[in-house]
Structure 1
Amino acid sequence: MGLTAGIAVFDRQSGRFTEQVNPDLRFRSASVVKLLIVLDYLWDRGPAYDVPAADRARLDVMLRSSDDAAASYYWDELGGGPIIDRMVTRLGLTHTARPPATHPGFWGYVAITAADTVRIYRYLLERAPAPVREYVMGNLYRATRCGTDGFDQYFGIASVFDLAFSVKQGWSGFVNSGGSGQRQAGGVDLTSEALHTTGTVGPGDRSIVAVYTLHPNGTAYGKAYTDLTRLTRSLTVPGGRRAEGSWLPTTGSGVRVRAAPTTSGGILGTLPSAVDVLVGCQTKGERIDAPPRSSDDRGGGVGKVSEWWAYLPKYGGYVTNVYVGSGSDKLPGVPDCE
């Protein structure tokens, strides 16, 4: 895949790691640092943990939909880099560090590792006061399909596993998702496309999963999304129930997921370009006659026709088979929807 990964999977039941690959390798955190921001905000709230309504609304969207404006607001309000210094001491983090001196306001450039991410979740689940745990984890259980910046954040953990899972994802370096002219600082890559999936999987948050990845320069979001999800699928995650179905590649850009197998069905979402999707079944619907595409596309310059639509359980909707798998009328090996 050509990617660089840092992985840690911790089974809370056995108290052991089931997967470790470069667990102490530093990555720029992207939005995963929002966990430390919210914990710093809540740290001195007192036993009642009273959170004003305006702050609660801002923090909710920061955790569920990875809102960057909210993170920037609290980064400034809480003092920036010292947030990280405080949380490193409080949680016993070993390789997490504030952004480089050249980019003090770039909270997404906080250095973090897979092993330290496990420590953050272990604090939340095992040592945090109940109101803190319930508030933060409650939001992570309800992560929205897309971030407020429009990026689909259901890659990795969210794609591979059925409930129960919680996620705090991170992405950086893709079009419109932030970047820097400086390539490295403190040994942390600041420019390669970064995609991270972190969270918990299984009843009782049995497993903590942290997968950090860097991708070759110029990698498209759909490819990074697919590569990270494939990597997550390969991991041993105790307690995790894997979503059932067939993983198939898609073609085209701006492919819409519909509430019904017809172009008049409501739009539930838009697939990242050329991404693997989980198909649960297929059903007949509106006949789609797609025009020929360029000869260097998978379509080979030949138009495609299908009256079959693939059902994507992770979206709860349908995509015409024209853009799924080989683009054949009916997908081989995929059952009909009942």
Structure 2
Amino acid sequence: MKPWVAVAAAVPLATGCAVSEPPRTPAAEPPPPSSTQARDAGGALDRPRAARPPAVPPGTTAGYVVFDRVSGKIVAHRNARRKFRSASVVKILIALDLLNRTKTLSAEDARLLKVMLRSSDDDAATNLWNRGGKGAIVTRMARELRLRETTPPPASKPGFWGYVSLSAYDVVTTYRHLLDRADPRARDLVLGHLRKATRCGTDGFDQSFGIPAAVPRPWAVKQGWSGFGLTPPVRCGGDVSAGGGAISQVAFAASGTGVPDYGRPVLHTTGLVGKDERYAVALLTAHPAGGSWNASVKRVTTLARDLYRALP
């Protein structure tokens, strides 16, 4: 995704049916299982097992949560409630909010949702963000899904949907809502697109890092990236980009009050993995200021691989 989002004129959208009531969020998280607690709870994945949770490289901040739908428990977590800059992960909430308020999608809105969710298109997200009331989208969805750390961007940056704050715990709660509580229409549309996520984002960045690179199919994913400039080092599809992917500081020129990890690039991989989508996974990361896209992608993919191998 781009490190900034332009503001367009807001257009009101007709109201529609609401999705069903979300699950109650538990007050406390269970501790991660010890190696002796790891067991086959049914539908286990065939993979080598890691002896310990993944090691986070120096200078990188990671927050992750993995929920096992077979055992009904969180089986791995780190910095579960820490706030991160959302980048494109917020596009799931933008989509859910639109579907809540719209009984019948127009052909154009159906197209916008498809390209936004499958290929992380920023222009589509900006269109729906402005029409839905910008930060009001986040307020509505956080209230409905009971997302504790998910908050709108600062008042000084209302058009910057990538500056929404969220946590790994809240992202996993959103996936659980989609699977277990959402109106079937919303569930099938959103997850249907995430199951068909493209390798290339429409901005030319390769979004097959993290889960897609480290975990065998089946999976449904929503990726996020911010702070890596407008030009990838190699445009997805093989064309070398002019400028070599140097990090742009456009997003960080003004005060970053209220924006998590302001001045640091972020890279997120989230989704559903395993047979029958057994695991809901959110891995959110912030990287050293000035860090490259390629090095950050390598770190996130390694973390996703090690986290997956450590699952029961």
User: TM tier, shorter chain?
Assistant: 0.7 to 0.9
Q: What SS is found at the alignment partner of 1:58? A: helix
User: Match of 1:213, SS?
Assistant: strand
Whether the aligned pair in 2 keeps the contact of 1:18 and 1:237 (CA below 8 Å) is no
- Of 160, 165, 171, which residue of structure 2 is paired with 1:111? 165
Residue from 269, 272, 277 that aligns with 1:197: 269
Structure 1 residue identity aligned to 2:89? V
> Normalized per residue, which structure has more strand?
1
TM-score by length of 2: 0.73
User: Matched residues in 2 for 1:210 and 1:109: separation?
Assistant: 18
Conserved 8 A contact 1:200-1:208: yes
**What letter corresponds to residue 85 of structure 1 in structure 2?**
T
Matched, 1:231 2:303: yes
Residue 90 of structure 1 is matched in structure 2 by 144
Identity of aligned residues (%): 47
Cα displacement (A) at 1:129: 1.1
In the other structure, the counterpart of 2:77 is: 20
Match of 1:246 in 2: none
Q: Structure 2 unaligned segments of length 5 or more: list them.
A: 1-56, 232-249
The aligned counterpart of 1:68 is 122
TM-score by length of 1: 0.68
- How many corresponding residue pairs? 237
Letter in 1 for 2:83: R
- Structure 1 letter corresponding to 2:225: W
Q: Return 5+ residue gaps in structure 1 as ranges.
A: 241-338
Following TM superposition, by how much is the alpha carbon of 1:82 offset from its aligned partner in structure 2, in angstroms? 0.6
Alpha carbons of structure 1 residues 201 and 237: separation in structure 2 relative to 1, 3 Å: farther
Matches within 5 A, 1:89-238: 89-176=143-230, 179-182=251-254, 184-186=256-258, 188-236=260-308
Q: Tell me what 1:44 maps to.
A: 101
- Secondary structure of the residue aligned to 2:302 is helix
Q: Deviations over 1:298-330 (max 9, x none)?
A: xxxxxxxxxxxxxxxxxxxxxxxxxxxxxxxxx
- Given that 1:65 and 1:147 are in contact with CA atoms closer than 8 Å, whether structure 2 keeps it comes out as yes
Give the secondary-structure state (helix, strand or coil) at the position aligned to 2:133. Answer: coil
Please tell me the residue identity of whatever aligns with 2:63: G
Per-residue CA distance 1:99-126 (angstroms, 9 max, x = gap): 0112111000000000000110011000
Structure 1 counterpart SS, 2:268: strand
Contact 1:207/1:239 (8 A) holds in 2:
no
Q: Considering Cα pairs closer than 8 Å and 6+ residues apart, tell me whether 1 or 2 has the greater RCO.
A: 2
Please say if residues 207 and 237 of structure 1, whose CA atoms lie closer than 8 Å, have aligned partners that are also in contact: no
Which structure would you say has the larger Rg? 1
Output the amino acid matched with 1:186: G
Shift of 1:180: 2.5
Would the aligned equivalents of 1:155 and 1:197 in 2 still touch at CA under 8 Å?
yes
Deviation at 1:131, TM superposition (A): 1.3
Query: Which AA in structure 2 matches 1:44?
Result: R
Query: Displaced runs of 4+ in structure 1, greater than 6 A?
Result: 237-240
Q: CA-atom RMSD, angstroms? A: 1.6
Tell me how far apart the structure 1 counterparts of residues 152 and 60 of structure 2 sit (CA, whole Å).
24
Matched AA of 1:27: F
The reply on whether 1:59 has 2:113 as its aligned counterpart is yes
Higher alpha-carbon deviation: 169-178 or 84-93: 169-178
Alpha-carbon shift at residue 15 of structure 1 (Å): 0.9
CA contact (8 A) 2:99 2:186 kept: yes
